[in-house]
Chain A
Amino acid sequence: MKKAFGLLLMVLILVVAACTPATNVDEPAKGQVEANAGSTTPEKVVIALESDAVTMLANTDLNYVNDVQLRNIYDPLVSRDIEGKIIPNLATEWSNPDSNTWEFKLKDQVVFHNGKPFNAEAVKFNIDFILDETNKSFYRSRWLNVKEAQVVDDRTIRIITTKPFANFLDRLADDLLIMEPSHVKELGLEKAASNPIGTGPYKFSEWKRDQYLELVANDQYWAGKPAIPIVRFRYIPEFSARLSALMSGEVNLIKNLPVDSVEKIKAQGNVKVAVRESARLNYVALNTFYDGPLKDKKVRQAIRHAINVDELLASVLNGYGTKMTGPLPKVNSGFSETPDYAYDQEKAKQLLKEAGIEPAQLKLQLDTPNGRYPMDSQVAQAIQAQLARIGINVDVQVNEWGNHLSKIRKKEMKDMYINGWGPSLEPQTTVEGLFTKNAPYSGFYDSSVEEQIQATIPVFGKEERKKGFDAIQNKLVEEAAFQPLWQQADIYAMDKKLKFEPRVDERFQVHDMSW
């Protein structure tokens, strides 16, 4: 028995030893802290994200976490400044010979990480990549108006659209990234998906699935050598664990700090908090697809008067958010000021009376996800309390996110639901995506609004287009199409010494960071 036990012990130790790889270890917590505390600047910045990237192929998967990482490896043709305004990147200038044609002049002397030159052929390859059905790009649905990309010469690319595509620059800024064509062709999609080559400020170094992605500075970068030599994106799904990693110094930057932890984090010595008004909006849908009382415009208006957004912002979100009155956030290029529905209980009751409804008889269901948006289910409860003040009975239903989304998509929602939308940086995507017939997200549809939207979308002239969207915004507010709440505040926590200014598009452009 003694022998057997000893043997078992030895086997166990051997198995564990054999299973323990000694490679690629993050510096021990203490070491990292010391490195950061010393006068020498650290070599590396570690950014924690909630999940892993799914592919290193550009132009394939839409999810945010994937995109923010890839944007350090690949460059776009046009990008956004910190406020969300479109600025040149690999394309230096552009023009429209007619409303179905876009012509872009490309930057000279840019090379990919493998030394191959960047040119119009590379741009064509990537556009074709999105359009090719066999690549199953989730971006394709947004590019259906693009007919083809033509190489005019080495430095000029022409893009033909099937109909006027007024927000094409936004599609370019948010979707298209440039991969090196010969690399993708030679390796094939499956292999290229874990071995990216772009023209960006950082080169691929190592991707350890479920653990981290490490990139090293591209010293030949056309916009200058990055200040931080190494960047590591670490995947920590659990928020408390992410926060712990930041506080222990293993991680230097995290996003999406809950509003109720901000004060606690601010009290920490080595960490600072930065807030940015985002282009994501939160709203309460007043569902007209559901055969309920909210089909009546007067009832919707009454609800808008009965919900006190300022109070919700101050008491539930601790002030972290920017109140909205219309469908577009202030950072949207098509934003126009719209009248507010003042918080007025009497007016609300009066409107309900006009609609022939006794508030006490009104029973409404409010669906909310839990944890998808800042304090979402708490906001729902607060709205329930506010509506109860005028006697309206609200039943709050909390859903798992996937289920919530699926109920919206299938138009199975009842009276009201909390939802979010964004980023909303240009007007068309938001208005079309929320308030047209096939768009289920706002729960609102009206044929006259639809006509207005469809008439405005193809308008190419800047002034005229702006006028069209102004009118739509005012009409939507007048109709009480939904209850806009606020622009989410993006809250970041980071190492005190890290220089990083949060962007409205929520990207981590490490090239702009320094120690």
Chain B
Amino acid sequence: MLGFLCKRVLQMFVVVFLALTAVFFLVRLSGDPTALFLPPDAPREQLEYYRSQLGFDRPLYVQYGEFIVNAIQGDFGKSLVAREDALGLVLERLPATFQLALFAMGVALLISIPIGILSAYRRNSLFDQLGVTLTVIGQAVPNFWLGLILIYFFGVIMQWLPTGGGGSVTHMILPTLTLAGYSIARFTRFTRSTMIDVYNEDYIRTAKASGASMLKILSWYGLKNASIPLITLVALDLGVLLGGSVITEVVFSWPGIGKLLMQSLLSRDFPVVMATIFLISVIYSVVNFLADLLYALVNPQIRYR
């Protein structure tokens, strides 16, 4: 167990390091940010002056070395735009993203699991066919489109809900639904197919023979076994959700890290981009690590492999 833990923790460090390295060089390919900050009529010497002040005149490997040394100490520098601690700016927005992600995950699980079980139980019924169709649509519909349609219908036409922004529970409903849409479709499909597999297992037949109702058997004995692979799926999606959904946050002007990432990319605010990527990769690795732990707890076979 200890070896397993050590290996996983080490892997996490590697993932975060590689993500930071890749993004560091990729954003620098997009050009020098200095030009975006100065007035267009700024003299060349001024441009050079700011470039050296911000350190962009040095060779890339020097910039990278300095970045890594500072990043290890948790220092991502100051935002070029807001001139405040970059990591601080990201952390400030993390609660909003967490709130939305957890809400969306909760909604997705509450909706998809019952539908998945019922679909498996009443296989090929009208309910099942409807469910399958909807999940295919749910997986195919792009986030931004769903978001805009929801805004238009519930915000503009019906005027039941605010069109965007943060603050109250009512502000959460539309972005939550938008964000949960994809996971609902994925989980439902997955639950349905694993339940159908479980349905053919011997222990279900035994349970059936003991006279319990099929629905109870499926949701009781069946779900427990089906939930093992589901954990991985949930963890993957949760990692994505907690990492901030850029599109949903931008469409709903939700004040989370996804929106911040988008804005700082467009304004070439490199320190904030790097701090955001750092947090996202840490969150993603940690969530997956926890999922693996949980997985190992639920299924002891994993630990010995």
Contact = CB atoms under 8 A, between A and B. Distances in A.
B60 interface: no
B250 A238 contact: yes
A19 B95 contact: yes
Nearest to B253: A236
A438 interface: yes
B163 A244 contact: yes
B278 interface: no
Contact of B46 (A141, A209, A248, A402): A141
Contact of B164 (A16, A62, A236): A236
A211 B165 CA distance: 6
A209 B36 contact: no
B151 A241 contact: yes
Contact of B83 (A23, A29, A142, A193): A193
Contact of B152 (A26, A244, A429): A244
Interface in A9-36: 9, 12-13, 15-16, 19-26, 28-30, 33
B212 interface: no
Contact of A62 (B39, B92, B95, B162): B39
Contacts of B268: 402
Nearest to B152: A244
Contacts of B31: 402-403, 405-406
Interface stretch (B62-70, B125-133, B203-211, B257-265): B257-265
B71 to A, nearest CB: 22
A62 B252 CA distance: 27
Interface in B241-279: 250-253, 255, 259-260, 262-263, 266, 268
Interface in B114-161: 148, 151-152, 155-156, 159-161
A61 interface: yes
A433 B47 CA distance: 14
A142 B162 contact: no
B57 interface: no
B229 interface: no
B82 interface: yes
B38 A138 contact: yes
Contacts of A26: 162, 165, 167
A22 B46 CA distance: 47
B163 A29 contact: yes
B148 A241 contact: yes
A406 B99 contact: no
Q: What DSSP secondary structure best describes chain B's contact surface?
A: helix
Interface string B24-43: 00000011110111111111
Contacts of A23: 167
A141 B39 contact: yes
B93 interface: yes
A244 B155 contact: yes
Given A16-B103, A241-B251, A421 B155 contact: no
A21 B102 contact: no
B224 interface: yes
Given A209-B255, A248-B163, A421-B40, A19 B99 contact: yes
B253 A55 contact: no
A78 B81 CA distance: 27
A409 interface: yes
A248 B155 contact: yes
A315 to B, nearest CB: 28
Contacts of A438: 43-44
Contact of A210 (B32, B33, B39, B93): B93
B84 interface: yes
A209 B43 CA distance: 32
Contacts of A40: none
A213 interface: no
Nearest to A16: B103
A20 to B, nearest CB: 6
Interface string A186-215: 000010010000000000000011111000
A432 B167 contact: no
A241 B102 contact: no
Nearest to A401: B266
B83 A20 contact: no
Q: Which 10 A-B pairs have the closest CB atoms?
A: A433-B41, A406-B31, A210-B255, A141-B46, A19-B99, A141-B42, A25-B168, A25-B167, A244-B163, A236-B253
16 contacts: A1-B224, A16-B99, A16-B103, A19-B99, A19-B102, A21-B167, A26-B165, A28-B170, A210-B166, A234-B165, A240-B251, A241-B163, A241-B251, A244-B156, A244-B163, A248-B159
Given A245-B163, A245-B164, 12 more contacts: A33-B159, A54-B81, A54-B82, A55-B82, A141-B43, A142-B42, A144-B46, A236-B164, A237-B263, A248-B162, A405-B31, A405-B35
Interface of A: 1, 9, 12-13, 15-16, 19-26, 28-30, 33, 51-52, 54-55, 61-62, 136, 138-142, 144, 190, 193, 208-212, 234-238, 240-241, 244-245, 247-250, 400-403, 405-406, 409, 421, 429, 432-433, 438-439, 441
